[in-house]
Amino acid sequence: MKRRKFIQNTSISSLGIMAGAASLSCKDGEKENQSVTEVTPTWPLVVATWNVKESTQAAWEVLNKGGAALDAIEQGCRVEEANADGQSVGIGGLPDRDGNVTLDACIMNKEGNYGAVVYLQNIKHPISVARKVMEETPHVILAGKGAEQFAISQGFIPEDLLTEKSKKAWEAWTKTSEYKPIINIENHDTIGMLAIDQNGDLAGGCTTSGLAYKMAGRVGDSPIIGSGLFVDNEIGAATATGLGEEVLKTVGSFLIVELMRQGMTPQQACEEAIGRIVQKNENFEDFQVGYIAVNKKGETGAYSIHDGFVVTTYVNDNNESFKPDYFNKST
């Protein structure tokens, strides 16, 4: 297996942050407040939002055999999409306020090509439909009924995605019908995943059922290029989780990649992107956003507004989940 190691170009200020952040007590198999850049930069690697070790394992298996980052991303995301117990992705995702499960996803390859589906219903694997949009159509985004019809034409089988568990949760919610973003809902939200394969090429993907009990028709950041995901094979990649409206308004993933292009480490770029959101929102205490990023050398970074965000990395044969550093230390 071809592997290369790189010396980290972490700046003195970010070393300070890392030292402050490195309190590594273990809880539920997750390490606490770890700066992701402490992992020796190398590739292949996969990094994902939240504690999704089975997903990163599936992605790693593709990478370890010499497979392409794009295939690793698709396989990794599919694991969580098929998990009916997870209520934020794929089957079992929490519905909108009318009780409809609507899914958003996108995927991006090393050539800078991109495919996405928004407001997709009845199809369990939006990440794979997004890839088909990228590879089989002249378009980059398909929405709603058109996306579903396209998926069926490509051989995807329609099925009811609203599980009993999610239906019960929605029915309970309808008693108050109070819409409020929930920070770190069930400690597991959108799956954003970035990978570097043995050739050193990057790809990324993002898949979600969006915010629970959203308005019908609402689309978040996850399927929108530059917001929920951006990949530039010369520089790096980034992806987001959390309140999509704030990620959209700051074009967060593109911002992170551009900051890395200007010389920031992935960690510094994630912190700057979170800083922009916090600066613009007096009410930042009410919502969560988390970013992960990787650069071309295999250095990674992650940062969120609040405690509770979890990242999983699979690198150096080590599949590990931990809490990255975060902004709001006041609570």
Write out the catalytic residue numbers: 190
Least separation in angstroms between residue 229's CB and ligand ASP is 11
**Inter-residue contact 223 to 69 (CB < 8 Å):** no
From residue 6, alpha-carbon distances to 40, 104, 226 in Å are 8, 35, 27
User: 């190691």: which residue's tokens?
Assistant: 5
Residue 241 touches ligand ASP, criterion: CB under 6 A? yes
Interface pick for ligand ASP out of 210, 226, 236, 266 (rule CB under 6 A): 210
Residue 222 touches ligand ASP, criterion: CB under 6 A? yes
Neighbours of 95 (CB within 10 A): 24
Q: Which string of x and - marks every residue 165-204 that binds ligand ASP (by CB under 6 A)?
A: ------------------------xx--------------
CB closer to ligand ASP out of 268 and 304: 304
Interface pick for ligand ASP out of 242, 252, 298, 324 (rule CB under 6 A): 242
Footprint (CB under 6 A) of ligand ASP, residues 293-322: none
Residue 208 touches ligand ASP, criterion: CB under 6 A? yes
Question: How many residues contact ligand ASP, by CB under 6 A?
Answer: 12
User: What is residue 183's three-state secondary structure?
Assistant: coil
Query: Which range binds ligand ASP by CB under 6 A, 5-13, 23-31, 155-163, 219-227?
Result: 219-227
Token digits for 308? Answer: 């509770």
User: 């790809």: which residue's tokens?
Assistant: 203
Residue 244 touches ligand ASP, criterion: CB under 6 A? yes
Neighbours of 295 (CB within 10 A): 28
Least separation in angstroms between residue 106's CB and ligand ASP is 12
Least separation in angstroms between residue 329's CB and ligand ASP is 22
- 21 CB-near residues (< 8 Å, 6+ apart): 33, 34, 35, 324, 325
From residue 7, alpha-carbon distances to 40, 197, 262, 292 in Å are 8, 19, 18, 20
Binding site for ligand ASP (CB under 6 A): 189-190, 208, 210-211, 220-222, 241-244
